[in-house]
Amino acid sequence: GRAFHYRKGKCMKTLYRSIGRSDIGGEPLPMVFRTFKNNNISFRRSEISMIAGPPGAGKSTLGLALALRMKVPTLYLSADTNVHTMAMRLLSMISGISQTDAEKEISVDPANSKEKLHLTKHIFWSFDSAPSLNDIDDEVTAFEELFGESPSLIVIDNLMDISMDGHEEFGGMRTALKELKYLARDTNAAILVLHHTKEGFQGDPCQPRNAIQGMVSQLPALIVTVAQTDNGLLGVASVKNRYGKADPQGKNPVWLQFNPEYMYIADLQEQR
């Protein structure tokens, strides 16, 4: 597989030659929420994007919904969630039933559950609880050997779970992001990193950019912070966005319908 720290030989680029090509990097993946499209919140190839928030804010639900609905070849590294829980969440999201009922269905009717989960066949999973950068590289190589192409989307859930021996915690996070940026450029994948915010930062309604743990906000092209309300909404604030408007304070989010019990997330006007 490719080794991290590997750098391809440099060559001069002529920008006009890149027009019309599909593999130059920076192309947005499919927009699955209308409100994201209207506000230039896009997840782009060859770039790192980040969804951040406190535990339980909804970042994993949003990340999973994006991976499911974009329907592009995806490598999903789920260090934070085990196989059973992820299957339960996906079945809930696909079927429109509660997570409790999804868990019952997996137990009572596994064949039907497997048939429904076949809709997620574009997602290749890794459940290593503490992957190293080399482990991530191996997973990408395995994906390429299996599918004959690099992933279009790589989801890292979450940054703090990447094993960085020999580094202090925050330094390890920054190093990991730098290496993931090289991976994004090498594979032309959009890398979506889920990450925690610092405790004690009050959201208004979403937490600000300076709440991101570990001072790792320099590299991502897009950073959104998320917050859920008591009346079934998820706020998504662009606190950094190279391709659109950003509010570093998180005070101007876009809103999605949100019901975590049913793993339901949608544009506001959609009905289920």
pLDDT digits (tens, 9 = 90+) for 143-167: 999 999 999 999 999 999 999 988 8
DSSP letters spanning 223-239 = EEEEEE-TTSEEEEEEE
Closest by CA to 63, choosing from 34, 102, 90, is 90
Say which residue, 14 or 165, is predicted with more confidence.
165
- 174 vs 219: CA distance, rounded Å: 9
- 266 vs 258: CA distance, rounded Å: 7
Say which residue, 110 or 13, is predicted with more confidence.
110
Closest by CA to 174, choosing from 135, 134, 219, 209, is 219
| pLDDT score, position 215 | 86
- Look up residue 270 and give its two tokens: 């959609």
pLDDT-based confidence at residue 8 (cuts at 50, 70, 90): very low
> H or E element: which one contains 100?
helix 99-108
Range 132-139 average pLDDT: 97
- 73 vs 232: CA distance, rounded Å: 31
Contact 224, 232 (CB under 8 A): no
Closest by CA to 227, choosing from 248, 253, 193, is 253
> Which pLDDT tens digit goes with each residue over 172-199?
999 999 999 999 999 999 999 999 999 8
pLDDT-based confidence at residue 22 (cuts at 50, 70, 90): low
Contact 56, 226 (CB under 8 A): no
- 54 vs 127: CA distance, rounded Å: 22
Average pLDDT in the chain: 91
Amino acid at 64: L
Helix axes 99-108, 110-117, angle to 10 degrees: 120
Say whether pLDDT at 20 is over 70: no
> Which pLDDT tens digit goes with each residue over 219-244?
999 999 999 999 999 999 999 999 99
Contact 135, 128 (CB under 8 A): yes
Residue in the structure block whose two tokens are 């196989």: 83
Report residue 257: phi and psi, to 5°: -70, 145
Closest by CA to 26, choosing from 34, 36, 35, 15, is 15
Close Cβ partners of 14 (under 8 Å, ≥ 6 residues apart): none
Q: How many CB atoms are closer than 10 A to CB 239? A: 26
Q: Determine if the pTM surpasses 0.85.
A: yes
| pLDDT score, position 269 | 80
Residue in the structure block whose two tokens are 């809103």: 255
Closest by CA to 235, choosing from 247, 224, 227, 243, is 227
Close Cβ partners of 20 (under 8 Å, ≥ 6 residues apart): none
Say whether pLDDT at 76 is over 60: yes
> Which pLDDT tens digit goes with each residue over 202-219?
899 999 999 999 989 999
